[in-house]
Chain A
Amino acid sequence: MSLFNFFRRGSAPIARERLQILLAHERNAGSHPDLLGVLREEIIAVIGRHVAIDPDRVQIKMDRGKSVSTLAVDIEIPNRDQPSGGAPRYSKLTFDAGRDVLGMRGSGI
């Protein structure tokens, strides 16, 4: 919503839209109370089978939208050729699962 509309129409339409998106997701959450936690563990396990990773250096973000939600995963992988004694260096592995993740497209609206 543009700034112009914001001033012209007041903030109630924004409240309404935010609520509709939030509640559509919260109502769905009943079957998946800790979806992000589960995804995080499983993704770490899959990557961990092939490279050593530090679970604290995995970031998972979700942005819940009205018709599309996105899931972004950032995993830092330690470089093997680290100098002895120094802190490990990391490469960054990024997944951006993008659209229509987990069948959330248009969920409940």
Chain B
Amino acid sequence: MAQVLVVTSGKGGVGKTTSTAALGAALAHDGTKVVVIDFDVGLRNLDLVMGAERRVVFDLINVINGVAKLPQALIRDKRLESLHLLPASQTRDKDALTEDGVAKVIDELREKFDWIICDSPAGIERGATLAMRYADAAIIVTNPEVSSVRDSDRIIGLLDSKTVKAERGERIDKHLLITRYSSSRVARGEMLSIDDVLEILATPLLGIIPESQEVLRASNVGSPVTLSNPLSAPARAYFDAARRLKGEQVSMSVPSENRGIFNRLFARKAA
């Protein structure tokens, strides 16, 4: 039974696309069939973060309009053959995204994939509401920072009211993914702690992704961080989160930025 996930946040720049790519690759690692869909019509970036920007021919809007068949628009990842990308269009009007069109595409994808991950655009407009519309579960990406937490609260309200599942009276599963977390700043009292954010948002925690230069490096080279450096702290945190999504019990560790001297030397050499 396919699972449709939306990766959402309200606020921009918190790591939705990074997390979509990293979790998609982590889930697909064992051959599980995964498709990641970019819903940011006009400002697509998932293709770039996945390193597939030069291979985009058709996109989501083309499929909805009937210009292309779904298999023609799907881009298979070069590193993981069970991982696919459905890009957003770069130029077309975002009104081309219709509720019926999205429903049809998602239904067709449900037949072919185990996980369908919808990368939501920022904001609460059409693209964002359609990205969450057919989701079975949601990952809310939050930075430990006031504006991000406030927007996450707003998005949680929308998930509980504007999704098909919510309208049917069912509960949509919600998972909180805290990104750009710095334990040293929390220790100094400069950053909201995990407990602070969990208490305010009252949503179960999926994972804690530490602030790390590996995330920027991964997007620079066009690879999900879980593929570019699977042993790095953020990649391990994403792998743990993916295992929790699959229902495994994985103890929640707060990743530390502290690295041993050996790791530091090794990282410098590798850079």
Contact = CB atoms under 8 A, between A and B. Distances in A.
Nearest to A16: B196
A22 interface: yes
A8 to B, nearest CB: 8
B189 A15 contact: no
A27 B157 contact: yes
B189 A19 contact: no
Contact of A12 (B154, B157, B196, B200): B196
- Give chain A's interface residue range (CB within 8 Å of chain B): 10 to 19
A72 interface: no
Interface residues of B, number: 16
A70 B186 CA distance: 33
Interface of A: 9-13, 15-16, 18-20, 22-23, 26-27, 30
Interface stretch (B24-32, B72-80, B145-153): B145-153
Given A23-B153, A23-B200, A12 B189 contact: yes
B201 to A, nearest CB: 9
Given A20-B200, A30-B157, A12 B190 contact: yes
Nearest to A9: B189
A11 B190 CA distance: 5
A15 B197 CA distance: 10
B195 to A, nearest CB: 10
A109 to B, nearest CB: 11
Given A18-B146, A23-B200, A12 B153 contact: no
A64 to B, nearest CB: 14
A18 B149 CA distance: 11
Contacts of B149: 19, 23
A19 B188 contact: no
B176 to A, nearest CB: 14
B200 A19 contact: yes
A33 to B, nearest CB: 12
Contacts of B192: 12, 15-16, 19
Interface string B200-238: 100000000000000000000000000000000000000
A15 B157 CA distance: 21
Contacts of A9: 189
B98 interface: no
B163 to A, nearest CB: 17
